[in-house]
């Protein structure tokens, strides 16, 4: 028996298909504790190397911004920084990065 219905997905706009959409990025904010040197790149290399991290920005004010794919936990960032000699404290939940 032949069906009149064809399973043709060629009409689907791949850019709007949630299964093919790029992952949304989020940004987590941390503050350096105890006078750690956030501008010392060696202190942040371990954080930059975490899977899912896209970018790490160190601000003069002692704030560290970590842009990631949402899979990176606060604990992982804090531990990576601690192993590098920099004490960090999360200042709030991750927020979506605006395009």
Task: Give the pLDDT of the chain (99 residues) as one tens digit per residue.
Answer: 555 545 444 444 444 444 544 568 999 999 998 766 666 656 789 999 999 999 999 888 889 999 999 999 999 999 999 988 889 999 989 999 986
pTM: 0.73
d(CA 72, CA 51): 7
Residue 51 token pair: 């899977």
């Amino acid at each position: 028996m032949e069906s009149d219905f064809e399973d043709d997905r060629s009409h689907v706009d791949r850019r709007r298909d949630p299964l093919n959409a790029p992952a949304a990025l989020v940004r987590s904010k941390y503050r350096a504790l105890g006078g750690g040197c956030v501008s010392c790149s060696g202190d942040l290399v371990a954080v930059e190397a975490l899977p899912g991290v896209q970018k790490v920005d160190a601000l003069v004010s002692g704030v560290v911004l970590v842009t990631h794919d949402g899979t990176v936990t606060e604990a992982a960032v804090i531990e990576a920084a601690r192993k590098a000699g920099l004490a960090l404290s999360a200042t709030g939940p991750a927020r979506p990065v605006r395009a």
